[in-house]
C-alpha cells in the first residue's frame, strides 16, 4: 500500500528535472558528491520503509521531530544510487516545501544554496514548469499522509533556520 503510494509520487518525479538540460554540468553534480561530512537527505513520512531496503545508503535519526514525537530520519548515500529508488528529497532538490498560514508553496531550499548554483541564482518559477508542477503535486500527496502537514512544518522551520544562517554568512 505504502509502496504504491510512494510509487505514484516517485513516478511524478522520475522524468522531470529542474532544467531542460543536465544541470549537473554546471556544478559537477555537487548534490551527489560526498563532502568531508556528507549532508544526507531528509526522509519524508513513512518513506524509510522503502529506503531501508536499498543497497546504496543507510538511514540515521536526525535531531528533528514532527507529529507526536516522531523523529525524522536522514538518508546518507554511500555510492551512486539506483535512480529509480532515489529518495524523494533528491527528486525535489533544490526545491523544498514551505508552509505558512496553512498554504504550501515551493522555495529554493536555503540548505542547498552552498552547493547548488540553481538555488543561489534562480527563483522556483525559473525552473522547468513541469518540474515545479510535479514537485507541488508530490507535496500535496505528502500532505495527505498522517503527520504530512507537521512534517512540512518541520521542513519550513529548518528552511527558516538555514535562511537566517545564510544571512549571517553574507
Ligand atoms: S547541485 Fe543543483 S545544479 Fe548541481 S546537479 Fe544538483 S540540482 Fe543540479
Ligand atoms: S541518493 Fe542518488 S540522487 Fe540522492 S544524493 Fe545520493 S547519489 Fe545523489
Mean pLDDT of the chain: 94
d(CA 76, CA 87): 10
In this predicted structure, the answer to whether residue 39 has a pLDDT above a threshold of 80 is: no
108 lines ligand 1 (CB under 6 A): no
Cβ 29 under 6 angstroms from ligand 1: yes
Domain residue ranges of the chain, discontinuous segments joined by +: 2-17+27-38+83-169
Q: Whose CA is nearest to atom 5 of ligand 1?
A: 24
Neighbours of 149 (CB within 10 A): 17
Looking at residue 33, its pLDDT comes to: 83
For residue 165, pLDDT beyond 80: yes
* Residues contacting residue 4 through CB under 8 Å, at least 6 positions apart: none
Model confidence band, residue 36 (pLDDT cutoffs 50, 70, 90): low
Whole-number Å distance, alpha carbon 118 to ligand 1 midpoint, is 7
Cβ atoms within 10 Å, residue 62:
15
pTM (2 decimals)? Answer: 0.95
CA–CA distance, 150 with 41 (Å, rounded to integer)? 18
Q: State residue 37's pLDDT score.
A: 64
C-alpha cell at 126: 525559473
Amino acid at each position: 500500500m505504502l509502496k504504491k503510494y510512494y510509487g505514484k509520487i516517485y513516478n511524478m518525479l522520475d522524468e522531470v528535472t529542474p532544467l531542460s538540460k543536465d544541470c549537473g554540468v554546471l556544478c559537477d553534480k555537487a548534490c551527489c558528491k560526498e563532502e568531508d561530512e556528507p549532508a544526507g537527505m531528509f526522509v519524508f513520512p513513512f518513506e524509510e520503509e522503502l529506503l531501508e531496503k536499498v543497497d546504496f545508503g543507510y538511514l540515521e535519526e536526525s535531531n528533528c521531530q514532527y507529529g507526536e514525537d516522531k523523529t525524522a530520519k536522514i538518508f546518507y548515500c554511500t555510492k551512486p544510487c539506483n535512480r529509480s529508488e532515489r529518495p524523494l528529497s533528491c527528486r525535489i532538490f533544490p526545491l523544498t516545501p514551505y508552509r505558512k498560514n496553512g498554504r504550501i508553496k515551493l522555495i529554493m531550499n536555503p540548505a542547498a544554496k552552498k552547493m547548488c548554483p540553481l538555488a543561489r541564482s534562480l527563483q522556483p518559477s525559473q525552473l522547468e514548469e513541469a518540474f515545479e508542477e510535479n514537485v507541488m503535486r508530490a507535496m500535496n500527496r505528502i500532505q495527505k499522509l498522517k503527520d504530512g502537514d507537521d512534517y512540512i512544518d518541520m521542513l519550513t522551520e529548518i528552511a527558516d533556520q538555514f535562511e537566517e544562517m545564510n544571512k549571517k554568512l553574507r
